[in-house]
């Protein structure tokens, strides 16, 4: 269900209420081996519970997306292994998704490069430099600053089955503590540093 929904979002975006009318106009039921009449609005919405659901047993929302991210990555890397001797190089960045509505609890006023004063949600993505395959994603409140997400990133890296490699992020995430945390995990790090820092000034003076 979710795969078909994702295909729809890419080629002909429709709301959940229109999906059951759209699916029979395609070959997707045949390709999926599922009768077209089973693709109802309720079936699509129920499928979302496999990603995130209100778990009454624990009294909070259960987010299952991290496990899905890891399973999809492991399947991809199993089918598309690295050349011998190569290791993973991961790029991490955060971008803003602007909202027009006011009902999303995560949408808040925050910084964005376009300086547009509108509610937004921040989306962070970890991607393989080797083949551009997404490895993990994180969704944050619109007011969340990029640097404040680094601990969550490192915790996720520590939890998934990825061979130690190299991490790339922009200078907005740099602090001595975060660099030390990456080194403690035995990952390599490529990042920019503010040119006003003591270390940068020393390097520049040597190069001159």
One domain, residues 43 and 105: no
Which structural domain, as residue segments, surrounds residue 12?
2-50
> What are the strands, taking DSSP E only, across the chain?
52-55, 60-63, 89-98, 120-128, 134-141, 166-169, 188-191
pLDDT at position 44: 87
User: Can you give the pLDDT of all 208 residues of the chain as single tens digits?
Assistant: 888 888 988 888 878 788 889 999 999 999 999 999 999 989 988 888 888 888 888 888 788 899 999 999 999 999 999 988 899 999 999 999 888 878 888 889 888 878 888 889 999 999 999 999 999 999 999 888 888 999 999 999 998 888 899 999 988 888 889 999 999 999 999 988 777 777 777 777 776 5
Q: Return d(Cα 153, Cα 137) in angstroms, integer.
A: 9
One domain, residues 110 and 170: yes
118 falls within a domain: yes
* CATH number of the domain to which 175 belongs: 3.90.350.10
pLDDT at position 207: 65
Count H helices, E strands: the chain?
8, 7
- How many folded domains does the chain comprise? 2
One domain, residues 188 and 157: yes
55 falls within a domain: no
One domain, residues 92 and 187: yes
One domain, residues 66 and 29: no
193 falls within a domain: yes
pLDDT at position 208: 59
One domain, residues 67 and 43: no
pLDDT at position 189: 94
One domain, residues 18 and 118: no
84 falls within a domain: yes
137 falls within a domain: yes
pLDDT at position 101: 79
pLDDT at position 91: 97
56 falls within a domain: no
Sign of CA dihedral 172, 176, 181, 184: positive
One domain, residues 90 and 127: yes
pLDDT at position 81: 92
One domain, residues 44 and 121: no
One domain, residues 24 and 77: no
Residue recorded with tokens 């040597």: 206
205 falls within a domain: no
73 falls within a domain: yes
DSSP letter at 117 equals -
Residues in the chain: 208
Which of residues 29, 50, 71 is at a domain's end?
Answer: 50
């Amino acid at each position: 269900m979710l795969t078909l929904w994702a295909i729809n979002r890419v080629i002909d975006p429709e709301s959940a209420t229109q999906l059951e009318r759209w699916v029979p106009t395609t070959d997707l039921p045949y390709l999926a081996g599922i009768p077209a009449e089973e693709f109802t609005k309720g079936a699509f919405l129920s499928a979302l519970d496999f990603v995130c659901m209100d778990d009454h047993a624990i009294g909070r929302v259960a987010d299952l997306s991290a496990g899905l991210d890891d399973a999809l990555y492991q399947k991809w890397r199993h089918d598309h292994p690295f050349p011998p001797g190569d290791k993973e190089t991961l790029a991490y960045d955060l971008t803003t998704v602007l909202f027009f509505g006011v009902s999303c609890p995560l949408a808040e006023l925050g910084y964005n490069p376009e300086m547009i004063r509108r509610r937004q949600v921040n989306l962070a993505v970890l991607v393989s430099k080797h083949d551009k395959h997404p490895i993990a994603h994180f969704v944050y409140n619109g007011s969340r600053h990029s640097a404040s997400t680094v601990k969550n990133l490192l915790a996720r890296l520590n939890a998934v089955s990825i061979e130690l490699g190299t991490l790339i992020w922009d200078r907005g995430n740099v602090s001595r503590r975060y660099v030390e945390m990456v080194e403690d995990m035995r990952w390599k790090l490529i990042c920019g540093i503010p040119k006003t820092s003591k270390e940068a000034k020393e390097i520049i003076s040597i190069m001159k």
